Each structure stands twice: as C-alpha cells, then as structure tokens.
Structure 1
Amino acid sequence: MIKRLIGATFLLLVALTASAQPDRPARERIESMRVAFITDKLELSPEESQRFWPLYNEYQDKEEAIRKSYRPEPPPSGDMTDQAAEKFLQDGFLMEQELLDLKKEYYLRLREVVPVRKIARLPRVERAFKERLLQELQNRRMQNGQRRGN
C-alpha cells in the first residue's frame, strides 16, 4: 500500500515536473483543482475553509521540506555495504518519525478549526485527488498518442 502510494506520488511528481515546469499556469490550475476537490469532499464551509487552508498549506510546505532534507541517494543495485544500508534505513526511520510528529502537531492545530471527522477523512480525500489527477494525466497521454498515431 505504501509502495503504491510512493510510486503514484513519484509518477505524479515526474509528470508534473516534466509537463508543468515551463508552464507555471498548469501548476496553478492543479493547485486550484486540489483546493476545490478537497474543499468539496470535506464539505468545508466558507468559514472552515478560510481557517483550514492556511494551516493545511503550512503543513504541506513543512512536509515537503522534511522529505527534501532526507532525500537519500538511492542504494546501488546490490553493492551496498551493511554500514550504508544501516544509514539508509536509519535516515528513513528519522524522516518517518519527523513526518509523524508533524502530522500529530497539525492534527491538534486543525481540530481547532474543523471537526475531527473531517480531518479523519482528509488522507482518503488526498489519495482520491492524486488518483484522479494521475488518471487525467494518463488519459491525456493516451489522447495525445492517438492523435500522433492518426
């Protein structure tokens, strides 16, 4: 499950980096779609939304910073020493712990602005948005491939 999520996130990031890097408005459109999707699926009121989004965006920025700070070199395809493997694993554990601590911190902060039941639905809604975005990217690629093939 986690490997699928990491793989999907990686594919999404690669696709976004490749296609949206020179086209800044595309990235902004995706962000607007994400805000609309999450707001709709969590059924955030205007008041909740106004208080939720600054906190959520702050959380996302901190999460990204943690992930970037621990971005390890991928292990060589079999020539990893035990010492290198140990460091690789320990760094991964440290990153996961920092991410967990961050989630706990923002859970406490978010529950002050939206009901807990909406926070509980947030991970599922985030996954649904990523899946929808990946599906749209795949559909677009297939359509582009069909146009070129004709």
Structure 2
Amino acid sequence: MLRFRHLLLTFCAAILCTLSTQAQTRDSKRFAAIENEKIAYITKELNLSQSEAQRFFPIYNQYNKEMWSVKSKKTGSSSAAPAGTNSFNGSGRRDVLSYDAKELEIKKEYRRKFADVIGNSRASQFFEIEQNFRELLYKELKRRNR
C-alpha cells in the first residue's frame, strides 16, 4: 500500500510538472506573438525603412530590456532600488518615485539613441506610439474578456 501511494504521488508530481511546463510554453508563445505585433506596429507607425529598422530595433531591444528590469523591480517584492537611489522612504515602504525617475532617465537616454537613427521627431513620437499600442492591447483584452 505504501509503495502504491508513493507511485501515485510521483505520477501526480510528474503530471503537474508537465502541465506547468506547457503553460509556460503557451505563455511565452503568447508573449512572443505580442512582441512581434508590437514591432510591426512600431515599424508601421514610425514609417521605418528597412535600413532604419535594422539599426533601430537592436537599440529598441536594449531599451525594452532595461525598462522591463526597472518595472519588474518596481512591482516585485524585491527591495532593490535603481542605482543611485534609495528604495525606501522614511516609513519603510518602497519609494516608487525612484523607479519612475529611473524610467524617465532611461527614456531620455534612449530618445537620444533613437534620434541618431530615425531623427528627433520620430524618436519623440516613439513613446507615444508605444503607449498607443499598450492601449490597443488593453482594449483587445477587455473585448475578449466580455
């Protein structure tokens, strides 16, 4: 009987691991599809030529990685603050403003880098286009949840 219980527990654990792996794969595929849509949207809205896109998107990928890092620290349980800032205010709570300031610094830095590739006007327009894509994504999510 003990051997049967052990076998059953092992079997259940294997099934749970398989299901969680499939869910992660499905989520990563969904995330990749959204990223591809975002890249297509940015390319279309900024009217990027092929050569501009080839130079723009490696910089964009660096920007995206840095922003994800700051945002995950901001929303996560980690108490690590952006470099050069204090993560806690006097009450022991995380200082969200320090993360917002870091996001702004990153945006300013990358606006300059984007401007070298696509010009000042379109570099500034990029952030509005990125926000518009997020809003479209939220609207689509709300529509699907109805």
Contact kept? 2:74, 2:99, Cα under 8 Å: yes
Number of residues of Structure 1 aligned to a counterpart in Structure 2 = 112
The letter of the residue matching 2:55 is R
Partner of 2:65: 61
Q: CA deviation at 1:50?
A: 0.6
TM, length-normalised to structure 2:
0.67
Separation (CA, whole Å) in 1 of partners of 2:112 and 2:128: 19
Partner of 1:84: 91
Partner of 1:39: 43
The letter of the residue matching 2:135 is E
The letter of the residue matching 2:117 is V
Cα shift readout 1:96-118 (whole Å, capped 9, x = no counterpart): 22222212211221111111111
Structure 1 position 117 matched with structure 2 position 99: no
TM, length-normalised to structure 1:
0.65
Separation (CA, whole Å) in 2 of partners of 1:118 and 1:127: 14
Contact kept? 2:111, 2:124, Cα under 8 Å: no
Partner of 1:51: 55
Separation (CA, whole Å) in 2 of partners of 1:93 and 1:132: 26
Query: Aligned match of 1:136 in 132, 136, 140?
Result: 140
Separation (CA, whole Å) in 1 of partners of 2:76 and 2:133: 27
Separation (CA, whole Å) in 2 of partners of 1:99 and 1:32: 23
Q: CA deviation at 1:21?
A: 4.5
Q: CA deviation at 1:140?
A: 2.1
Q: CA deviation at 1:26?
A: 1.7
Stretches of structure 1 that go unaligned for 5 or more consecutive residues are 1-19, 74-81, 143-150
Structure with more contact order per residue of length (Cα contacts < 8 Å, sep ≥ 6) = 1
Structure 1 position 27 matched with structure 2 position 31: yes
C-alpha change, 1:136 and 1:71, in structure 2 (3 Å) is closer
C-alpha change, 1:126 and 1:21, in structure 2 (3 Å) is farther
Q: CA deviation at 1:93?
A: 2.5
Q: Match of 1:121, SS?
A: helix
